[in-house]
Amino acid sequence: MNLIVRRGRVFPEIQWTEAQKAEDKARRQAFYERCWAIFERLKPEILDKYSDCYIAIEPDSGNYFIDRDQEVASKMAREKHPHVIHHIFGINETGVSGRI
């Protein structure tokens, strides 16, 4: 009989408090909202031309990168802004990345 041995947390020294979790969630939400505002501003002019493509947005500069391949759009953003986080949206009516 094989027993599964649980080894515990990967990094047991890292224990976030509820306040730290809430702060991180608020920071991520604020980042998303900044990117969403840029996406909403651009959507009328890019929706028809780039439908079913992906857009990577870097909110501090307002730069955006569009490609049919999500990974290529992300790579273009990383090349231009190597140490900055960007957000990916699908260019469609909902802005959702990925397909069902």
pLDDT surpassing 90 at residue 21: yes
Q: How far is CA 4 from CA 8, 10, 36, in A?
A: 12, 16, 44
Q: What percent of the chain has pLDDT over 70?
A: 84
How far apart are the C-alpha atoms of 17 and 44, rounded to whole Å? 42
How far apart are the C-alpha atoms of 8 and 30, rounded to whole Å? 32
The pLDDT value recorded for residue 94 is: 65
pLDDT digits (tens, 9 = 90+) for 33-79: 999 999 999 988 998 899 889 999 999 999 999 999 999 999 999 99
Lowest mean pLDDT among 2-6, 24-28, 29-33: 2-6
